[in-house]
Amino acid sequence: MTGEDRDGKDKKWQKLALEVIERLREEYPDAECTLDYDQAWKLLIGVRLAAQCTDERVNIVVEKLYEKFPDVDALAAADVAEIEEIVRPCGLGKSKARDISACMKILKEQYGGQIPKTFDELLKLPGVGRKSANLIMGDVFGEPAIVTDTHCIRLVNRIGLVDGIKEPKKVEMELWKIIPPEEGSDFVTDLYTTEGKCARPAQNHTATDAVWQISVRRKFRIVFTQDQQKHV
């Protein structure tokens, strides 16, 4: 593919991305992450616990966790086995407890109980990958961020924003080429909303109704399917 051809394809994808962003915003104007947190370090823990677990279950479990260990210092001093006992219902209790303990120790010793404010520093924390770091950067610090997990990857492939790419970092890099930086975080949150991952739909649709199956036809014609197809 020549540079000219690539530029033309990127422009088509950019146009499609803007159309999807606008339609998602109209459908879900109040979408937001439903992991409960009132301090940044709590979101860090919530994201770690949410791996292979629902946000709803995480929100229940962290209530018990914070009741016993109400701050970074308390968690940093806690026995890993005590943390594991509480977080076990989220699955992978041993590894999650270990990561939470190690992470809180680092926050206490190196960051004064706060979370680091750069992407690279976040990536150095135990249990924090690109998905978690991007979520923190977007939701906590309001920085440009694109969170790519299996749900996002599946949908952006179905929509046609990427073409057969499955590796999270590669998908993230491709999306950065076509999604305006200021839209990245909200775009992904709205995508999650289509299956009830991060918020309830604004209208009287259930989360599964919102299989909303966004699909793409030739020449980037979008079809949003709910009860019946609506051709754009």
Same domain flag for 135 and 174: no
131 is catalytic: yes
Q: What is the pTM of this model?
A: 0.78
Domain end among 139, 172, 207: 139
73 is catalytic: no
For residue 35, being part of any structural domain is answered with: no
* Structural domains counted in the chain: 2
For residue 86, being part of any structural domain is answered with: yes
Per-position pLDDT tens, the chain of length 232: 555 555 666 688 888 888 888 888 888 777 777 799 999 999 999 999 999 999 999 999 999 999 999 999 999 999 999 999 999 999 999 999 999 999 999 999 999 999 999 999 999 999 999 999 999 999 999 999 999 988 889 889 988 889 899 999 999 999 999 999 888 888 877 776 665 444 333 343 333 333 334 433 333 344 444 433 333 3
CA dist 171 → 93, 95, 109 (Å):
29, 27, 35
Same domain flag for 135 and 57: yes
CATH number for position 78: 1.10.340.30
What domain range is 56 assigned to? 40-139
Same domain flag for 102 and 186: no
Q: Which of 55, 149, 186, 190 is catalytic?
A: 149
Same domain flag for 224 and 168: yes
Q: Which of 131, 186, 190, 197 is catalytic?
A: 131
